[in-house]
Every structure is written in C-alpha cells, then in structure tokens.
C-alpha cells in the first residue's frame, strides 16, 4: 500500500492554574482567567506498507495493515499569549502506522465491526522563538526541537448495508 496521512490538532488553553513555576516554590500558585495559550500542530505523513485481508466464509472478515514513513514532517506553533512569546517548530523524522479491523456479518445486511489504529511519530528539527510584545519584545532564538507522538484510536460500529 501507498498512502498519505495529514492531521491537524488545534486547541486553546483557558483558565490556567500555574503551580510552582520557575524560581517559585511548589506552594506558589497563580490563576489566570481567559485564553492563556494557543497551540496548533500539523502532521504530514506519506507512507508505504503492507496490508492483508482474511475472509472466513461469508460472515467473518479481518484486515491488518502496517505502514512506515521515513519522510514524516511535523510543524507546530505554540503561542504563549500571556508572555507574548511565539514558538514555531519545523521537524522531520519517521512514523509507524498500524491498523487491525474485524467485521462479523450478523444478518443479511447487518455487520458488527471493531478495530484499532495506532500511529507513532518521532521527529527532530528546530524551533524559532520570538517575543512579539512585553518586556522582551524583539528577542529571538533558535533552539533544537524534538516532537514525539503516540496515538491510539479504538472503535466499534454496527453497519447496515443496502
């Protein structure tokens, strides 16, 4: 098999409780209401692999696939709104993709299916950090960046085919 997987995760952090940050002791706590951080990560994963299917009669089917990507690219953007600090990462590396699915025919048009997907990613690159406001306005730096991700998806479904 040959495929391409593209994912975006985009979220905001709100109403933050910060405990024991930096030079402060663990008992120091501060609460901030409203948006405190915006984060977005994009995964670009072209892959190759093997896929196998097994059918037992007309009632049972199972499939297994395993893919590998030596060309995985990950880009992320981390905006610390309270500190006016924007960090943009650009990394590349590899990924492993796996899938197992089983389907059982219950009636003429009714099927019960269950499965699992797995995705493992490891990339390295650089991250550009810059302050766009506040007391450190104009300060920029480039640092090493490493992004690792392990994602599982389990699912079950009943399907009526007509």
Please write the tens of the pLDDT for every residue from 72-101.
Answer: 999 999 999 999 999 999 999 999 999 999
C-alpha to C-alpha distances, 40 to 118, 125, 135, nearest whole angstrom:
21, 17, 25
Closest of 151, 116, 139, 117 to residue 41, by C-alpha: 151
What share of the chain in percent tops pLDDT 90?
85
Domain boundaries, the chain: 2-14+31-160
Q: Given pLDDT bands bounded at 50, 70 and 90, which one contains residue 27?
A: confident
φ, ψ (nearest 5 deg) of residue 53 = -125, 145
| Radius of gyration of the chain measured on its C-alpha atoms | 22
Cα separation of 18 and 16, whole Å? 6
- State the CB neighbour count (10 A cutoff) for residue 10: 10
pLDDT-derived band at 24 (thresholds 50, 70, 90) equals low
Owner of token pair 């995985």: 72
Tens-digit pLDDT profile for residues 93-136: 999 999 999 999 999 899 999 999 999 999 999 999 999 999 99
State pTM to two decimals: 0.84
């Amino acid at each position: 098999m040959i495929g391409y997987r593209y994912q975006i995760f985009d979220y905001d952090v709100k109403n933050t409780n910060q405990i024991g940050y930096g030079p402060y002791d663990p008992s120091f706590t501060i609460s901030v209401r409203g948006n405190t951080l915006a984060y977005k990560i994009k995964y670009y994963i072209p892959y190759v692999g093997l896929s196998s299917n097994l059918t037992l009669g007309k009632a049972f089917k199972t499939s297994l696939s395993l893919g590998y990507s030596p060309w995985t690219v990950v880009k992320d953007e981390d905006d610390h709104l309270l500190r006016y600090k924007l960090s943009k990462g650009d990394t590349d590396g590899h990924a492993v993709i796996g899938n197992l699915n089983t389907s059982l025919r219950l009636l003429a048009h009714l099927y019960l299916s269950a499965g699992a997907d797995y995705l493992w990613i490891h990339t390295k690159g650089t991250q550009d950090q810059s302050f766009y406001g506040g007391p450190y306005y104009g300060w920029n730096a480039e640092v090493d960046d490493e992004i690792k991700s392990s994602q599982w998806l389990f699912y079950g479904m009943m399907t009526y085919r007509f």
